[in-house]
Chain A
Amino acid sequence: MSHLNLTLKVWRQDNATSEGRIETYEAKEIPTSASFLEMIDIVNERLIRDGEEPIHFDHDCREGICGMCSMTINGIPHSKERGITTCQLHMRKFKDGDTIWIEPFRANAFPVVKDLVVDRSAFDRIIAAGGYISVRTGSAPDAHAIPVPKSDADAAFDAAACIGCGACVAACKNASAMLFVSAKASHLNHLPQGEVEKDQRVLNMVRQMDAEGFGNCTNQFECEAVCPKEISAQHIAKLNRDYLAASAREAVAP
Chain B
Amino acid sequence: MTLDSKIPAGPLANKWTSHKVNSKLINPANKRKYKIIVVGSGLAGGSAAATLSELGYQVECFCYQDSPRRAHSIAAQGGINAAKNYQNDGDSVYRLFYDTIKGGDFRSREANVHRLAEVSTEIIDQCVAQGVPFAREYGGLLDNRSFGGAQVKRTFYARGQTGQQLLIGCYQALEKEIQKGGVKMHPRTEMLDLVVVDGHAKGIVVRNLTTGEITTHAADAVILATGGYGNVFYLSTNAMGCNVMAAFRAHKRGAFFANPCYTQIHPTCIPVSGDYQSKLTLMSESLRNDGRIWVPKSAEDAQAIREGKKTAAEIPEDERDYYLERKYPSFGNLSPRDISSRSAKEVCDEGRGVASTGLGVFLDFADAIKRDGEDAIRARYGNLFQMYEKISGDDPYQVPMKIYPAVHYTMGGLWVDYNLMSNLPGLHVLGEANFSDHGANRLGASALMQGLADGYFVIPSTIAVYLAEQKPGAVTTSHPAFKEAENSVRDRLKSLMDIKGTRSVDSFHRELGLLIWDKCGMARDREGLEEALRRIPEIRNEFWTNVRIPGSANGLNAELEKAGRVADFLEFAEVLCYDALNREESCGGHFRSEHQFTEADPEVQDGRTQPGEAKRHDDQFQYVAAWEHTAPGQAPVLHKEELVFEEVKPSIRSYK
Contacts and interface: CB of A to CB of B under 8 A. Distances in A.
Interface of A: 1, 14-15, 31, 33-35, 37-38, 41-42, 45, 47-49, 51-54, 56, 58-68, 83-84, 88, 90, 92, 113-114, 117, 119-121, 123-124, 127-129, 131-144, 146-150, 153-154, 156-157, 160-161, 163-164, 187-188, 191, 193-194
B140 interface: yes
B125 A66 contact: no
B556 A117 contact: yes
B558 interface: yes
Given A66-B72, A188-B131, A137 B277 contact: no
A62 to B, nearest CB: 5
A27 to B, nearest CB: 12
Contacts of A154: 133
Contact of B555 (A15, A37, A42): A15
Given A137-B51, A140-B125, A65 B130 contact: no
Contacts of A68: 65-66, 70
How large, as a class, is the contact surface on chain B?
35 or more
A66 B74 contact: yes
A83 B151 CA distance: 36
A148 B393 CA distance: 38
B50 A148 contact: no
Given A62-B279, A88-B387, A120-B66, A133 B131 contact: yes
B142 interface: yes
A193 B457 CA distance: 21
A60 B240 contact: yes
Contacts of B138: 150
Given A88-B391, A113-B210, A114-B556, 16 more contacts: A41-B278, A48-B559, A62-B279, A66-B74, A127-B175, A136-B54, A137-B50, A137-B173, A138-B457, A143-B127, A149-B140, A150-B137, A157-B158, A157-B159, A160-B133, A187-B131
Contacts of B387: 63-64, 88
Contacts of A37: 278
Contacts of A163: 164
B126 A140 contact: yes
Contact of A62 (B66, B124, B278): B278
7 contacts: A33-B273, A114-B556, A119-B66, A123-B67, A124-B185, A128-B179, A140-B129
Given A65-B75, A90-B391, A163-B164, A137 B128 contact: no
Nearest to B550: A53
A133 B456 CA distance: 16
A172 B76 CA distance: 31
Contacts of B374: none
Contacts of B396: none
Nearest to A66: B70
B382 to A, nearest CB: 11
A49 B54 contact: no
A153 B278 contact: no
Contacts of A92: 393
B175 A132 contact: yes
Contacts of A148: 136, 140
B65 A137 contact: no
B171 to A, nearest CB: 7
Nearest to A40: B278
Closest 4 pairs between A and B when the two form their complex, measured CB to CB: A147-B140, A132-B172, A140-B129, A157-B133
B274 interface: yes
Contacts of A150: 136-138, 140
A36 to B, nearest CB: 11
B241 A193 contact: no
B610 interface: no
Given A61-B72, A140-B126, A161-B161, A194 B504 contact: no
A34 B122 CA distance: 43
Given A51-B550, A90-B393, A156-B131, A135 B74 contact: no
B164 A65 contact: yes
B650 interface: no
B129 A60 contact: no
A161 B167 CA distance: 12
A38 B276 contact: yes
A131 B174 CA distance: 11
Interface string B608-632: 0000000000000000000000000
Given A60-B70, A121-B67, A132-B176, A143 B278 contact: no
Given A61-B75, A62-B240, A137-B50, A48 B556 contact: no
Given A34-B276, A148-B140, A48 B504 contact: yes
A61 to B, nearest CB: 4
Interface string B103-135: 000000000000000000010111111110111
Residue among B122, B161, B172, B504 having the largest count of chain A Cβ atoms under 10 Å: B172
A37 B278 CA distance: 9
Interface in B161-205: 161, 163-165, 168, 171-173, 175-176, 178-179, 185, 187
A164 B66 CA distance: 11
A144 B75 contact: no
A163 B74 CA distance: 9
B139 A60 contact: no
A193 B129 contact: yes
Residue of A121, A131, A138, A143 ringed by the most chain B CB atoms within 10 A = A143
B504 A121 contact: no
A137 B54 contact: yes
Interface in B55-91: 65-70, 72, 74-75, 84, 86
Interface in B191-228: 210
Given A49-B504, A53-B551, A194 B131 contact: yes
Contacts of A141: 125, 129
Contacts of A131: 172, 175
Interface in B499-531: 502, 504, 506-507
Interface centre among A14, A117, A127 (most CB of B within 10 A): A127
B550 A48 contact: yes
Contact of A160 (B125, B165, B273, B274): B165
Nearest to B84: A143
A135 B130 contact: yes
A21 to B, nearest CB: 17
Given A56-B558, A193-B128, A153 B273 contact: no
A202 to B, nearest CB: 15
Nearest to B558: A56
Contacts of A124: 67-69, 175, 178, 185, 187
Contacts of B130: 132-133, 135, 140, 193
A247 B54 CA distance: 30
Contact of A156 (B69, B133, B277): B133
B555 A164 contact: no
Contacts of B159: 157, 161
Contacts of A48: 504, 548, 550, 559
A191 B125 contact: no
Contacts of B187: 121, 124
A150 B122 CA distance: 22
Contacts of B139: 147
A63 B75 contact: yes
A19 to B, nearest CB: 16
B146 to A, nearest CB: 19
